[in-house]
Amino acid sequence: MLYWLLILIIPLIASANVKATYSKYSKVYNSRGWTADQVARRILDDNGLYHVRIERIAGNLSDHFDPTANVVRLSDSVYGKTSVAAIGVAAHECGHAVQHAESYAPIVMRSKMVPLTNFCSHASYILILLGMIFSYNEFLINIGIILFLGVVAFQFITLPVEFDASSRALRTLEGDAILDTDEVNKSAKVLRAAALTYVAALLTAVLNLLRLIAMTRRRN
């Protein structure tokens, strides 16, 4: 029961925190009048990524970099906005574009892990369920648990990818004088809140793994 509560509560707290933090600093506007998409274009061009496009997409904080299409997609809550929150998010996504351009090891590894992780995520539960149905087949259950380790590994490798993108963003915003020091600090709070959602995802994956192990041990 405790595992279930933590698995449900941790992501909710992380999500609520990032939304509240973004909402707070979306009301703080940068002194130079930059819009988030303008900042994104500048960062990309300064890194020689002239071929990477910027698109506006519907949604709230649905921003992402698509390496297959070489597009930084900024949500309605970010594109065209002058807040330090929006600029921080846009700079973060550009950080991912730069990571791909530089073949940053963790993001290359994460990209290669995506198909395997999707398979592990689905197959692990199926094997564990089958193992419990068919006379408690320990072989199937153990294989399922081992496969779920792939999900945990994916969440683990995501952390340095996200932290590095945020670090690149903040260094650029301050180093290129896009934002002043106080504004950078406020953008940093938004990015830290966003980073905690990935920490929450890792904790949730670990808790799910422990829940599966505990469940099988209780059956034994």
Mark whether 93 is an active-site residue: yes
Cα(53)–Cα(35) distance, integer angstroms: 16
Cβ contact 109:183 at 8 Å: no
Contact residues for 205 (Cβ-Cβ < 8 A; gap 6+):
151, 152, 155
What would the DSSP string read from start to end of 83-123?
BHHHHHHHHHHHHHHHHHHTT-HHHHHHHHHHHHHHHHHHH
Contact call for residues 111 and 56 (beta carbons, < 8 A): no
Count Cβ atoms below 10 Å from residue 210 Cβ, excluding itself: 13
The single-letter DSSP state of residue 29 is B
Phi, psi of 180 (to 5 degrees): -80, 175
- Which one of 55, 93, 102, 162 is the catalytic residue? 93
Q: Which residues, listed in sequence order, are joined to residue 66 by a DSSP beta bridge?
A: 71
Which residues are part of the catalytic machinery? 93
